[in-house]
Structure 1
Amino acid sequence: MENTHSKQLKRVLKPVHLWAIATGLVISGEYFGWNLGWEVSGTIGFLIATLVVTVMYVTFIFSYTELTTSIPHAGGAFAYAYRAMGPFGGLIAGYATLVDFLFATPAIAFSLGSYVHFLHPAVGVLQAAIAFNVAFIVLNILGVKESAVFSVFITILAVGELLLFMGVVGPHFKMDNYLSNPMPFGWSGVFAALPFAVWFYLAIEGVAMVAEEVKDPKRNIPRGYIYALATLVFLALGVMILTGGVTDWRRLSKLDYPLPEAISIVLGKGSGLTKVFASIGLFGLVASIHGTILASSRQVFAMARSGYLPRGLAAVNSKFKTPHWAILAGGVISFIALYTGTTGQIIILSVLGAIVMYMMSMISLFILRKKEPALERPFAAICYPTFPATALVISAVCMVAIMYYSFFIGLLFFAGLAVAIGLFMLTGKHKARIIDDDMLNTPIYN
């Protein structure tokens, strides 16, 4: 029998760490990426898309937390879908989650490189992106407690900076700017903008992947989620609306660094405060790249431990107690994406992975309610079945919008899934039962 002790993670995380990890995972979405939604929808069109997506996330989180606390497993949606639907359900959810987090990392790295290039034009965007990627791979290998403490520190700085940003640009907000050509593409633009609105909140579900490292997870995970969601909704709406009113929003709709540019418009490019803001603007991006590497590595770890990826990726470093090979494997994917894609393409691919994962999670929730009514549910989904149904329907709409407006990226995602299913069947994994304490309470699938 395999030594399970070598594949166990330390329980050291508290609610403040979870708030920091969840907020840190997402907060880069307030710094860049969302503004690309203006280009396809205008300010009001994007505001409508953001409100719809905010409803989706509120209903999703208050439903998803039931799964996270009932089955506190590093695999997240992979574990829930396996338990609800068996090997193929687990494979689809696991694949989607991997795409979600593995491709969020290079998108954030691109923006980090762009911020550094804004500050120091002699430094190339790609070179800076790669350097940040390497640095945070190393930090994550050194230990989850150490990296979680860093998350708290850097996330507080990032939130503080966004509040400072709103304070600086707020007095310069002009409604005429915000309402200039507000919906140039009509309602079709609202649908086209949905993936960029998702980017505001994408990855908050990553807290599920550190569930095995949380002290008293059934009590502390809901707290971490709720505090983080409240923080992010306030920041997303505040930053988006105020930024749209400081100038002609079209000047900011294609940039990887919209906030420093907005500050430079308000204070002047020569202002020392503009450079200072761009410098501390790195905090939010740093918090997110750190968090996405943490979350993606735990997904790789969980799937490898369960036999869905090479088992060597489930090794835990004897000194640091972190899944070092899983972290390095994610780094390889990130480097490939940095060399082959653009920020917008990578964001849409990451968002599509997230949307499919959300759908699989909500379907799992409905199935487990019927299949395992006696399962201990320390945090029952609020307004069941209305909330999970709402999250499922809006997620499905988002998926259709991505497939319609970004067909090639959608084709790439589902082609990858088809290859994964083919390999899964060829290797006979669909006939094997996972040996995992937290996933054992499920029928044997033959």
Structure 2
Amino acid sequence: MSSVSTGGQVGSASASQLPRAVSTLQLWAIAVGLVISGEYFGWSYGWASAGTLGFLVATLFVAVMYTTFIFSFTELTSSIPHAGGPFAYSFHAFGPTGGYLAGMATLIEFVFAPPAIALAIGAYLNVQFPALDPKLAAVGAFAVFMTLNILGVRIAATFELFITLLAIFELLVFMGVVSPGFSVANFVKGGWAGQDHFSLAAIPGIFAAIPFAIWFFLAIEGVAMAAEETKNPKRAIPIAYIGGILTLVALALGVMLFAGGAGDWTKLSNINDPLPQAMKMIVGEHSGWLHMLVWLGLFGLIASFHGIILGYSRQIFAQARAGYLPLWLAALHPRFKTPHRAILAGGVIGIAAIFSDQLLQFGGQSLTANIVTMSVFGALLMYILSMAGLLRLRAKEPGLARSYKVPFYPLFPLVALLGALISLGAMVWFNPLLAAVFCGILAAGYGYFRLTASRRQHAASDVLIQPAAASAGS
């Protein structure tokens, strides 16, 4: 057995294995909680370019892509329940370089998503406390929830279940409160990029809105990063993924339709708190319903924020354990057995992004919109590699223990792959500057990857192949 560094000392790879403590219900809550902040903010930026009806088309396209992707991705996660998630799958399918690309793409997705959510938390708190700087509130959110994640995965998963159930309840309350004022006429007015009727001129706006439709579902694949800590991965993973995506599709369509039908939807685009503002149109500024939504609405943001911190920390930990990142990031806390250094490292990057207005606010978009877009770039590259990896592994490792197999193979992974390729192409076309930044990060990371090749020769076989294969058969 080769060795891996865990906090400055050299120990066996098994010494850096995460404890199994997450139940099936908690894993479902992680699946939904990772994403549910996307129902509260971010998506409404898509209305600015596509209109309500154009954005509905983009959302339905993305919903099909995600549904087929999740059914396919479940096979990978069940077969290789590893904290590295997509990083481990691509390593199995394509070797070290494939592992690098998928791992870096996943890191970009999961490290850039938290600052966007933290800024939305700050915006929601600013509604209640106008003197509170949203950025300072965002930093406070990082401090609180990094601490909670360090205290232990059992505590973190239990909190995630509680907060996710509250967030779902609040979205249902929002739909119920605004429903008396819902009007189809409000929703369809100017619904095709400002026009009342569809024309070819609306198509570019639909493609430009794709990243904000993806925000409805972004990060559900983070369940993979908790698979190594799940008590019964064969049973829990399919239930969590499939139940999670069905829950999220229903909530996304409901929130978008009710918010758009509440009044003048153009006032809700390009803001971080569309649901409270939509409710204002129905109940007024001083209603108790509005204040309840602001406070309970924080639960949705917190659920995703907290869950994605769990996700990025496991991705950093897994890559460090395999030698793709500095080995000291693979340390587990001596008491809580959580990857505390990985949690803190991702938080430092996220806080830096919050205060990077001059670097990340360009191209005519807000800081939040650009952070969302960067996160989506990472997600799409990872989806492409994962679906290609699934097809590759079916041929390369036919004997791999597969407790769950994707239905309608190879149709579902091919649909998801095609959808991700179309989405990535559209994003590059409409966001060339951010695409260049994304490619620059990948190139810089690849330089580090090549310089540290010798280190991985001692770690990869133990922490990417053997534990994953063993877990799949457990």
2: CA distance, partners of 1:226 / 1:421: 34
Match of 2:461 in 1: 435
Which of 337, 347, 356 lines up with 2:381 in the alignment? 356
Match of 1:253 in 2: 269
Deviation at 1:427, TM superposition (A): 2.9
Q: Which structure 2 residues correspond to residues 280-359 of structure 1 after superposition, within 5 A?
A: 280-340=296-356, 341=360, 342-359=367-384
2: CA distance, partners of 1:260 / 1:441: 46
Q: Is the 8 A contact 1:308 1:429 kept in 2?
A: no
Q: Is the 8 A contact 2:105 2:379 kept in 1?
A: yes
Residue 213 (structure 1) aligned with residue 229 (structure 2): yes
Which of 8, 18, 27 lines up with 1:18 in the alignment? 27
2: CA distance, partners of 1:150 / 1:430: 37
Which of 45, 59, 84 lines up with 2:93 in the alignment? 84
Change (3 A) 1:308 1:172: same
Q: Is the 8 A contact 2:324 2:452 kept in 1?
A: no
Match of 1:425 in 2: 450
Q: Which structure 2 residues correspond to residues 150-169 of structure 1 after superposition, within 5 A?
A: 150-169=159-178
Deviation at 1:428, TM superposition (A): 2.8
Q: Is the 8 A contact 2:13 2:462 kept in 1?
A: no
Change (3 A) 1:88 1:438: closer
SS at match of 1:435: helix
Task: Give me the identity figure in percent.
Answer: 50
SS at match of 1:376: coil
Residue 44 (structure 1) aligned with residue 53 (structure 2): yes
Q: Is the 8 A contact 2:91 2:98 kept in 1?
A: yes
1: CA distance, partners of 2:314 / 2:151: 14
Deviation at 1:318, TM superposition (A): 1.3
Which of 211, 217, 220 lines up with 1:204 in the alignment? 220
Which of 98, 103, 118 lines up with 1:94 in the alignment? 103
Deviations 1:64-118 (A, max 9, x none): 0000000010000000001110010000000000001001100000000000001
2: CA distance, partners of 1:116 / 1:182: 30
Residue 27 (structure 1) aligned with residue 43 (structure 2): no
Q: Is the 8 A contact 1:26 1:203 kept in 2?
A: yes
Residue type of the partner of 1:343? Answer: T
Q: Is the 8 A contact 2:120 2:301 kept in 1?
A: yes
1: CA distance, partners of 2:291 / 2:73: 40
Match of 2:440 in 1: 415
Deviation at 1:429, TM superposition (A): 4.8
Match of 1:143 in 2: 152
Match of 2:184 in 1: 175
Deviations 1:162-215 (A, max 9, x none): 000011111211111111111125111110010000000000000000111001
Match of 1:231 in 2: 247
Match of 1:127 in 2: 136
- Segments of 4+ moved more than 2 angstroms: 1-6, 426-433, 435-438
Name structure 2 gaps, 5 residues minimum. Answer: 4-10, 194-200, 361-366, 469-474
SS at match of 1:383: coil
Residue type of the partner of 2:165? Answer: I
Instruction: State the number of aligned residues.
Output: 442
Change (3 A) 1:441 1:114: closer
Deviates more, 1:37-46 or 1:224-233: 224-233
Deviation at 1:6, TM superposition (A): 2.9
1: CA distance, partners of 2:131 / 2:288: 19
